[in-house]
A = this chain, B = another copy of it.
Amino acid sequence: MLFEVFKEIGIIEQLSRTQLEARLPDGLIAPHFAVLNHLINRGDGAIPINMARAFQVPKTSMTHTLKGLAAKGYVEFRENPIDGRSKTVWLTDKGRALRTDVIAGLGKGFAHLLEHIDAKALTGMLPTLVRLREVMDAARDEG
């Protein structure tokens, strides 16, 4: 039963990722969008290693993702005046515009979903999902 929950979550993740990536330009994929979104939510000037930790990916993966975004002009690097080892990451106007457009596009997809599912049932899951994520996150540290 619990097993089924994770199975469904895995499938939904795959489907939603596919939907998202269909709306992204060029060679951008989900992690690129996640970074743009993170920079909007948490503010510009983030440090790569902190984003790697937030996303729980290796720092090498974050380097690669940021390199892709920078090469296409969606973010830019500036030096970190506090710590010479690290950079800071800043959205460009192009990056902001893309994120806005994609969010708007996803809204249409959501509207379609809500024609077929009760919105309250969906958002009603949110507290349990958050709780589940928190517990799993804690268990990860414990071992």
A interface residues, Cβ below 8 angstroms from B: 1-6, 8-19, 56, 103, 106, 109-110, 112-114, 116-117, 119, 121-126, 128-133, 135-140
Contact = CB atoms under 8 A, between A and B. Distances in A.
Contact of A1 (B3, B117, B126, B140): B126
A12 B128 contact: no
A74 B124 CA distance: 41
Contacts of A14: 56
Interface of A is mostly: helix
B15 A12 contact: no
Contacts of A6: 12, 16
A16 B110 contact: no
Per assembly, the copies of the chain total 2
A10 B13 contact: yes
Given A125-B125, A132-B117, A13 B5 contact: no
Nearest to A30: B10
Given A9-B9, A13-B13, A110-B2, A116 B129 contact: no
A117 B131 contact: yes
A5 B122 contact: yes
B9 A136 contact: no
